[in-house]
Structure 1
Amino acid sequence: MTTVSDAAPDPVAPPARDLLTPRARALERAALRHGGAHCAALCLVSLASTAAGLLLPAVLGRALDLLLAGDPATRWVARATALVLLLGVLDAAAGVLSGTADGRAAAWLRRLVTGQVLALGPRAADRFGAGDLAARLVGNAAQAGTSPAAVAALLAATAGPVGGVVALGIIDARLALVLLAGAPLLALLLRALARDTTACVGDYQRVQGRMAADLAEAVGGHRTIAAAGTQDRETARVLRPLPELSRAGHRMWHVQGRAAARAVTVAPLLELAVVAVAGYLLTRGEVSVGDLLAASRYAVLATGVGVLVGRLAALARARAATRRLAEVLAEPAPAPGTRPLPPGPGRLELRGVTVRRGGRTVLDGLDLVVPGGTALAVVGRSGTGKSLLAALAGRLTDPDAGEVLLDGVPVADVRHADLRHAVAFAFARPALLGTTIEDAVSFGAAAPTQDRVRSAAREARADTFVERLPRGWDTLCADAPRSGGESQRLGLARAFAHGGRLLILDDALSSLDTVTEHHVTRALFGPGGGRTRLLIAHRATTAARADSVAWLEGGRVRAVAPHEVLWRDPDYRAVFGEETPR
C-alpha cells in the first residue's frame, strides 16, 4: 500500500508553440474515437443543419418567383416554413449533442490523465507541481474536451461557404467566379488567425498553470504564512503573473477581433460584387428575381468567415489545452513488472544505485543490504537522500543507474500487485484517503479485516484517539480534526494493517510525543514482527532501537553498524545536533 507525500516543487512547464505535437494530435484523435456515436451524430446533425440552411434561399427564391408571376406558391412557402422549423430543431439537437460530447470527452480525458499521474507517482508533482496538475486536470481537460465538438462544428462551418459557392455556380457560373476571386485573401486571413490564436492561447494557459501552482503552494503553507504575517506578500506573489495573463488574454481577443474586422472588410465587398453581377444578369433576363434573392443569401453564406473565425478560435483553444494534457501523458511512467514475487523474508538490497535530481547527483553508486526480518534506521543530514532511498526501496521512483532487489528479484521486474502487497509505507505527512476513518486505515491494494484494522490501530496508539471521535471509526475524515501526531498515528495504523514483508517508515514518527513514540517503537521493534523494517530516522532514540543504522553522507553509505557503535564518532553525533540517546 502506497501513499504519495504532500510536498511538490514548482512546475516547469514549457510554452506551447506548435498547433499540435504528434502526441497531442494522437490524443485528439483518440478523444474523437472515444466520442464515437455522439461525435458522428453531432457531425451529421451539423451538416444537416448546414444543408437545410443552403436549401432555404433556393426555396424562398422559388416562392418569390411564383408570387411575382401570380402562380400558386403555397407549397413552396410551406416548404420554406418547414425548413425554418427544421433548422430550429437541428440547432437544438446540435446543442444537446455538443454538450454531451464535450462532457464525455472531458471525463475520458480526466480519467486518462489521472491514471497517468497516479502511474507516475511522486515524479508527476516533481515535474509539473500539484497546482499546475490540478489546473490541467480541471480547466485544460474541460477545454480539450470541446475538441470533438469543435471539429464537427468546423466541418459544418466549412460546408456552408463551400455549399454557398456551389449554389452560386448552379444559379450562374459567373457568380461563383466573382466570389472565388476573393477566396485566397479569406484563406490567408483564416490561416493567420489559426497561427496567432494558438500562440496566444498557449501562453494564456501556461500562465494559468503557473498561478495555480503558486496558489496550491500558498494554500499548503497557509499556517506558516499566517504565523509570519505575510498574507499580503503571498497574495502579491500568487497574483504577480496576473498582468501577463491579462496581456495574453487581450492578445487573444485582439487577434480574433482583428481577423473578424478584416473579414468584415473583405466579405461585404465580395457580397456586393455578387449582388451587382446578379443584378446585371437580372436586367439581361438571364436570372430571375428569386435567383437574385437566393444569390444574395448564398453570397453571405459563402463569405461566412465570421463563423469560421469563431470555430477556428474554439478549436485552437481546445488544441492548446490538448497539448498541455499530452505533455503529462508524454512523461515516461515506470513500466510494470511481470515477474511474481517469490516467498521470502523481505531481504532488501540496493546495488550501485545512482539517482539524479535537478542536475545534482543525490545518491551516487550506493550499495546497501537490509537482511530479512531486521530493522534498519537510515540517518544523515538534510539533503543526503534519505527519503529518496525510501522511495526507491518501495519503487515509488526508479534509479537512474543500479538496481533495487527484494528477496533477490529486481523490484522493477515484480508485478505491481505483488509489490504493493509486499511493501507498506508510512509518511511524515500521510494523506488519509477514504470517506471515513476506517476507510482511511483500510485504504490499500487489499482491504484488511476489521479485526486487523483494530489491532493495527492499537499498535500505532491510534485507537484511543479514534474512539473519542463523534462516531468513532465511522466518523467522516472531513469531520475529524487531527493534530500532526494523530494523523501520523493513523498513517502508521494503515501501514501496520496491510502487513507485507517490508515496512518503510519515512520519518513517520517525527510528530509523535515521547510516550506515544515509546509505545509505537516497542511494537515496531519488538520480537515476532517477522517483517523487514526500513526507517528514515531523525531522532537518536529511534536509531538506537533499530538493529543497525545506515549512515548516509555525500550520496553514499558512510557506515552500517549498531547505533551505540556509531555514537562514538563525533561526526555521527553531529547528525543529531545536541540530542543525546535515551
Structure 2
Amino acid sequence: MSPTFRGVVRQGRGWVPLIGVAALLGSLATLALPTVLGRAVDSIVAGGASDHWFVAACVLIAVGVLSGLVDSYADAACAAGGTAWLRRRLVGQVLAAGPHGTRGLDTGDLVSRVSGSAVDAGQAAPVSVTAVATVLPPAGSLVLLAVIDPWLAAAFLVGVVGVLVVLAAFSRRTTEISQAYAVTQGRIAALLTESLTGIRTIAAAGTVQRERDRILQPLPELHRQGVRTWQALARSGAQAAVIGPLVLVSVLAAGGLLLSEGRITAGELFAAGQYAILGAGLGSLTGVLGELARARAGSRRADEIAGLEPLRYGALDPEPGPGRLDLVGVTVDGDDGPLLADVNLSLPGGTTVAVVGSSGAGKSVLAALVARLRDPDRGRVLLDGVPLPELSHHALRTAVGVAFERPALFGTTVAAAIGAGTTDPDRVVEAARATHAHDFVSRLPAGYDTPLNEAPLSGGEAQRLGLARAWHADRLLLLDDATSSLDTATEVQISSTLTARGDRSRLIVTHRAGTADRADLVVWLHSGRVRSVGMHRDLWLEEDYRRVFG
C-alpha cells in the first residue's frame, strides 16, 4: 500500500471510527429488516398480531436513514481534512526540496499533483471504510440465508462468486487506467504552465495556434484513457447487471422448492428474496472501487512528491564576521560533465566581488551554492568559517539575501513583498530607499500599501523590489544578474549604495563591465573553473576577458 495512502487514512482517525460505526449500524439495520418483515408476513399468514413487527421495521428504517446521513457528513468531512493535510504536506515538501530537489518535475505537473491528485488521495480513508462496509450486507446475507436453510446459501454463493470475479477484474483495470489518466493530465498542465510563462513571446511571435496544438497534443491520449475508464465501468456494470438477477432467480427458485416441501415459511422466502437482492448489490461496489482506484492512483502520484529529499539544515549560528566566503574543492556534476570543477576561493568579508564569465561558465551554479539553494556534490562552502549545511535555517536566511534577474514577488502588498517577513515599516522604507525603489513606490495609488497584483511594475522596478527584499541580509548580499533590467544611471546609484556599506559582503553575478569595474575583486569563471581572480583593470588587459563582455 502507498505510504501516502496510509498517511491519509491515519489522518482520518477522528472521523474513521464514526464512519465505521455509522456504516455498521446501517448494515445491521439493512440485514435485520428482511427478517423483521418476513416475521410480519408470517404473522399475517398465521392470522396473528403483526403491529410490533411493523414498528420494529420502522425503527430499523429510521436507523438506516440516520446512519446514512451521519455517514455522508463524516465522509465529506474526513475527505476534506485528508485533502487539506496532504496538500499542506506536499506544498511543504516541494518548498523544502527547493529548486534543485524538484528539478525533474515540471511546474504544471507539480500543481496537478498538489491539486487534483491530492483530492483523489484525500478520499482514501472514507472510501476504504465504505468499501469494507459495502461488503457487510452481502456477507451477512450469506450467513442469514444459511441460518434459514443451507441450500439457499449455496444458491446465493454460486451467483456471488461471479460478481466477485467481475469486481476483481474491474479493480485491477481501473487502478491502471486512473494512473495513466492522471499522468496525462499532468503532462497537459505542464505544457500549459510552460506556455503561460512565455505568453508574451507567443503573442508577439504570432504562434498562438501552434502553441495551442502543442499543449493539446496529449488530449487524444487523455480521451483514450477516459474512454477506457467508461468502458471498464460499463463492462463491469453490464456483467453485474446480468449476474445480479441470476442470483435472485437462483435463490427464489431454491426457496420456492423449499417452501413447497414445507422446509421454510412464506416470510422466510420473502426474507431470502431480500437477502438475494442485497447479495446482488455487490455490483454497486463498482462505484466504490472506482473511487478507491482513483485514491490509490492519486496517492502514488503524491508519493513521488512526498519522497523528495528536503534540504537539511544544522543548528549553528555563524561565527562573528562580515561575511567571509570560502569555497574549498567545490565540484558540481552535470549530465554532460561538471558544471563547476574543483573551485577554490577565499573571498574577504565586507568586500564587493563580481563574478563574470561567458554563458555556461557556471556563474548561476556558483550563486546557487553560495545561497545554498543546492549543495555541491563534492567540497564545502563556508560563511565566516562555518559550513553552510551546519547553519540553522533562520541563521542562514538571515545572513544571506538573494536577488534574482527575474524576481518572483510575493505578498498581499508592496510593503509585504519588500519586507520578506519583517513587520517593521522603517526597515521596509530603508530597504526601498537603498535600492532606489522608494520614489516609484511612493507614486503608487496607495504607496507601500498598494496591493501587489495592482501595482504596474516595469522589469527594472520589479528588480528593484527584489533587491529591496534581499537588502535585509546581515552578512552576504548575493545579486544573480539582479541589475540587468536597470538603466545605467540607476545601476551606478545602487552600486554606490552597495559599496558604501562595508559591514557585509556583496557577491554580484554580472554581464556588465561597469559593474565589474566598480567591484573590489573579480572572479572570472570559464567552463566551470576559476580562470583568474583579480582587479577588473588588471584582467581587462587580457583579450579573452574583454570578450566576456562582448
SS of the residue corresponding to residue 65 of structure 1 reads helix
Between 1:391-400 and 1:25-34, the stretch displaced more is: 25-34
String of CA shifts for 1:20-52, please: whole Å, max 9, x gaps: 4xxxx2222221221112121112112211111
Of 410, 417, 436, 1:461 maps to: 436
What is aligned with 2:458?
A: 483
What is aligned with 1:224?
A: 201
In structure 2, the CA distance between the partners of 1:456 and 1:510, relative to structure 1 (3 Å rule), is same
Of 248, 269, 289, 2:246 maps to: 269
Amino acid at match of 1:451: D
C-alpha separation between the residues in 1 aligned to 2:336 and 2:68?
56
Amino acid at match of 2:189: A
What is aligned with 1:517?
A: 491
Amino acid at match of 1:335: R
SS of the residue corresponding to residue 62 of structure 1 reads helix
2:533 is equivalent to residue 556 of structure 1: no
2:270 is equivalent to residue 290 of structure 1: no
Contact kept, 8 Å, 1:460 with 1:489, in 2: the verdict is yes
1:275 offset after TM fit, Å?
1.3
Of 58, 62, 76, 1:85 maps to: 62
C-alpha separation between the residues in 1 aligned to 2:385 and 2:161?
69
What is aligned with 2:149?
A: 172
1:183 offset after TM fit, Å?
4.4
1:358 offset after TM fit, Å?
4.0
Contact kept, 8 Å, 2:163 with 2:283, in 1: the verdict is no
Contact kept, 8 Å, 2:418 with 2:468, in 1: the verdict is yes
What is aligned with 2:360?
A: 383
1:536 offset after TM fit, Å?
0.9
1:182 offset after TM fit, Å?
4.2
C-alpha separation between the residues in 2 aligned to 1:356 and 1:182?
62
Aligned-pair Cα RMSD in Å? 1.5
Between 1:184-193 and 1:297-306, the stretch displaced more is: 184-193
1:544 offset after TM fit, Å?
1.3
1:193 offset after TM fit, Å?
1.6
1:69 offset after TM fit, Å?
1.8
Contact kept, 8 Å, 1:377 with 1:543, in 2: the verdict is yes
Contact kept, 8 Å, 1:163 with 1:302, in 2: the verdict is no
1:313 offset after TM fit, Å?
1.2
Of 533, 536, 542, 2:515 maps to: 542
1:573 offset after TM fit, Å?
1.3
Contact kept, 8 Å, 1:341 with 1:415, in 2: the verdict is no
2:469 is equivalent to residue 494 of structure 1: yes
C-alpha separation between the residues in 2 aligned to 1:365 and 1:242?
47
1:123 offset after TM fit, Å?
2.5
C-alpha separation between the residues in 2 aligned to 1:63 and 1:529?
95
1:292 offset after TM fit, Å?
0.9
What is aligned with 2:426?
A: 451
2:2 is equivalent to residue 28 of structure 1: no
1:367 offset after TM fit, Å?
1.9
1:392 offset after TM fit, Å?
0.8
What is aligned with 2:342?
A: 365
In structure 2, the CA distance between the partners of 1:279 and 1:115, relative to structure 1 (3 Å rule), is same
Amino acid at match of 1:308: L
What is aligned with 1:471?
A: 446
C-alpha separation between the residues in 2 aligned to 1:389 and 1:460?
24
Percentage identity across paired residues of the two chains: 46
SS of the residue corresponding to residue 409 of structure 2 reads coil
C-alpha separation between the residues in 2 aligned to 1:66 and 1:426?
86
Structure 1 spans left out of the alignment, 5+ residues: 1-19, 578-582
What is aligned with 1:211?
A: 188
String of CA shifts for 1:140-195, please: whole Å, max 9, x gaps: 11111111111011011111221111111111122112222344443332222221
C-alpha separation between the residues in 2 aligned to 1:384 and 1:326?
36
Of 278, 281, 299, 2:258 maps to: 281
SS of the residue corresponding to residue 530 of structure 1 reads coil
What is aligned with 1:506?
A: 480
Of 234, 237, 250, 2:227 maps to: 250
1:328 offset after TM fit, Å?
0.6
Amino acid at match of 1:461: H
Of 413, 418, 434, 1:436 maps to: 413
What is aligned with 1:425?
A: 402
Structure 2 spans left out of the alignment, 5+ residues: none
Could you state the TM-score of these two structures normalised by the residue count of structure 2?
Answer: 0.97
String of CA shifts for 1:409-464, please: whole Å, max 9, x gaps: 111111111111111111111121111111111114xx163222211111111000
What is aligned with 2:116?
A: 139
1:291 offset after TM fit, Å?
0.9
Amino acid at match of 2:443: R
C-alpha separation between the residues in 1 aligned to 2:144 and 2:333?
65
Aligned length: 550
Contact kept, 8 Å, 2:160 with 2:247, in 1: the verdict is no
What is aligned with 1:310?
A: 287
1:262 offset after TM fit, Å?
2.1
SS of the residue corresponding to residue 104 of structure 2 reads helix
SS of the residue corresponding to residue 304 of structure 1 reads helix
2:135 is equivalent to residue 153 of structure 1: no
C-alpha separation between the residues in 2 aligned to 1:227 and 1:383?
28
Between 1:286-295 and 1:123-132, the stretch displaced more is: 123-132
1:112 offset after TM fit, Å?
0.6
Of 163, 188, 194, 2:165 maps to: 188
2:82 is equivalent to residue 105 of structure 1: yes
Between 1:192-201 and 1:482-491, the stretch displaced more is: 192-201
String of CA shifts for 1:265-318, please: whole Å, max 9, x gaps: 323222211111111101111111111111111112123232222111111101
C-alpha separation between the residues in 1 aligned to 2:196 and 2:335?
25
What is aligned with 1:5?
A: none
C-alpha separation between the residues in 1 aligned to 2:285 and 2:328?
61
In structure 2, the CA distance between the partners of 1:33 and 1:352, relative to structure 1 (3 Å rule), is same
Contact kept, 8 Å, 1:548 with 1:563, in 2: the verdict is yes
Could you state the TM-score of these two structures normalised by the residue count of structure 1?
Answer: 0.92
SS of the residue corresponding to residue 533 of structure 1 reads strand
Contact kept, 8 Å, 2:94 with 2:308, in 1: the verdict is no
1:398 offset after TM fit, Å?
1.2
C-alpha separation between the residues in 2 aligned to 1:356 and 1:51?
64
String of CA shifts for 1:5-29, please: whole Å, max 9, x gaps: xxxxxxxxxxxxxxx4xxxx22222
Between 1:398-407 and 1:227-236, the stretch displaced more is: 398-407
C-alpha separation between the residues in 1 aligned to 2:344 and 2:155?
80
C-alpha separation between the residues in 2 aligned to 1:355 and 1:250?
46
